[in-house]
Chains A and B, each alone.
Chain A
Amino acid sequence: MLRETLLRTLDDLVGRYGKARENLLPVLQDLQAEFGFLGEETINEVARAFGLSQTEVFSVASFYHFLNTQEKGKYVIRICRTISCDLRDKANVLRALESELGIKMGETTRDKKYSLDYANCMGTCDRGPSMMVNDRLYADLSPSKAVDIIRSYR
């Protein structure tokens, strides 16, 4: 990521939300959406923009499962591991994705394109198994359907 791009985006966001402490989270969320993760430089610049310590910003970011403080794949695939999807054989979906991508749960493909992660209940329990790819939610998955969906992300 180019430093100028980061600074420009951050500037925009701070302009939009304001510099008050309570606007930190939306700024982090949008930066993550833009750049995929909140790396050191990002945390540092956000801290500067809000006049906070880096530790304070990192402390907030690291609390939230959807904020990545480490680089992840371009597409983060989160499979619901909660009970109703578990009942509906989410394990098979996971296995299919692992073999399609050649990585295990928790890993990122070497080309930094896909990461496989767990998440908890996504609110489509009646139509599980479910997964999210970045912000998009998919339900009614079968192993082959899940693989097709992943393939549509390039």
Chain B
Amino acid sequence: MARKLDVVFSDIEPGSALRAALAMTPSDVIGLVSRSKLRGRGGAGFPTGIKWDTARRHEGAEKYIVCNADEGEPGTFKDKNILERQTAKVLEGMAIGAYAIGASEGFIYLRGEYKYLVSDLARKIGEMKSQNLIGPDICHEKGFCFDIHIKLGSGSYVCGEETALLESLESRRGEPRNKPPYPAESGFLGRPTVVNNVETLSFVPHILLNGADWFQQFGTEKSTGSKLFSVSGDCGKPGIYEFEFGITIRELLKEIEADAGTKAVQIGGASGFCACADDFDKPICFEGIPTGGSIIIFNKSRSMFRVLKNFVEFFQEESCGQCVPCREGCSRMLEGIEKFEKGKGSSKTINDLLELSETMSLASKCGFGQSVPNSFRTIASKFKDEILSAGEGELWQS
């Protein structure tokens, strides 16, 4: 039975983790984070220690650390809660990262929808400045200066992708870049830049205070620590939960009081995977079903066709539109799906779309286009009948 935890929302003594970091060398801080095996909570699960180390090793007069608070994956709202309730901890995580890689400036890239958080964030930054936790010569450490600026998004999901985010930070269109070079080598204005998710950063102070072993006792071999889940949809207790990695879907469903009639669970939002009853004993973790945290529950009354269509509409609208497989692919996929509604779809239509999916996931320029087919593939295979008969039945809403 996976443990329910309360790390992210537990309070720490402000500045204590930062002071612990400053007592170490930057490379020891990175060593500690690496040993904890902390992996990015933004979805991709990249080892944070390696990312920091890359940025530290890369020459650059200026380096940056960016807190990715663009949280746009459908069904995700944990980062907003962290920023609201544990602002200082996230900022402290950024400062520790800055110390580790040698950055003196940081950005919080906050999605436009969360603009109302700006004033609180700014106040907290000011407060921490007055406590000498941000600003010049932090904690009286000569020469360690770090300032944080808040930058707003303007309603674009793809800007959560780290290189699109960097483009947006540079006030350009949020069109993802080619990788490599990775942001840690060449990021904001071509300088080494670490982009980390809000939740990732909020774990950093705990690792500094409690050690790598403490962190590793939670979770699985390859997915250490705990994870926040944003739960919505058909269940008794939607909201935010923290469990250790490796929790099975079934365990999770019980916690959130989903009823026995749960038909499907979408894990990882629109770009994630759809699990049906057969999958409920699978673990949620990077080596199992990965997720940035979005969990959406569907009960018996829901049409999975409708769910799928909603997702594909989302993608078609949010694609940056620069690369062919994703731009043209999203439109063709939506067109194909709409055929079913009109009773014109067949198994062949599904097969055609599966072939298209193959190209989208293999050849798209960024993670957006590469993950568009995830929901189609899983829903179309597990609920094929519902797709094929979409033209017949009543939908869940008039």
Contacts and interface: CB of A to CB of B under 8 A. Distances in A.
A5 interface: no
A60 B113 contact: no
Contacts of B71: 123
Nearest to B308: A83
Contacts of A83: 74-75, 233, 266, 270, 296, 307, 310-311, 314
Given A21-B171, A59-B173, A126-B239, A121 B116 contact: no
B263 to A, nearest CB: 12
B147 to A, nearest CB: 15
A151 interface: no
Contact of B169 (A22, A91, A123, A137): A22
Interface string B231-269: 111100011100000000000000000000000001000
Given A29-B152, A89-B397, A66 B77 contact: no
A128 B317 CA distance: 21
A144 B310 CA distance: 25
A119 B113 contact: yes
A55 interface: no
Contact of B156 (A64, A82, A89, A128): A64
Interface residues of A, number: 36
A82 B72 CA distance: 11
B206 to A, nearest CB: 24
A81 B219 CA distance: 34
Interface string A123-134: 111111000100
Interface string B355-375: 000000000000000000000
A124 to B, nearest CB: 6
Interface residues of B, number: 56
Contact of A132 (B113, B168, B171, B296): B113
A26 B313 CA distance: 29
Contact of A126 (B111, B155, B169, B232): B232
Nearest to A82: B74
Contacts of A123: 71, 76-77, 79-80, 111, 113-114
B398 to A, nearest CB: 8
A63 interface: yes
A25 B152 CA distance: 9
Interface in B285-329: 296, 298, 302, 306-307, 310-311, 313-314, 317-318, 320
Contacts of A137: 113, 116
A70 interface: no
B112 interface: yes
A136 interface: yes
Nearest to A125: B232
Given A83-B296, A137-B113, 11 more contacts: A21-B171, A22-B171, A25-B168, A63-B174, A64-B153, A81-B313, A83-B75, A123-B77, A126-B232, A126-B240, A132-B113
Interface of A: 21-26, 29, 59-60, 63-67, 81-84, 86-87, 89, 91, 119-128, 132, 135-137
14 contacts: A26-B171, A60-B171, A63-B320, A83-B307, A84-B74, A87-B232, A87-B302, A120-B74, A121-B75, A123-B77, A125-B230, A126-B231, A135-B115, A135-B116
User: 6 nearest interchain CB pairs?
Assistant: A65-B155, A66-B155, A64-B154, A126-B238, A24-B171, A125-B232
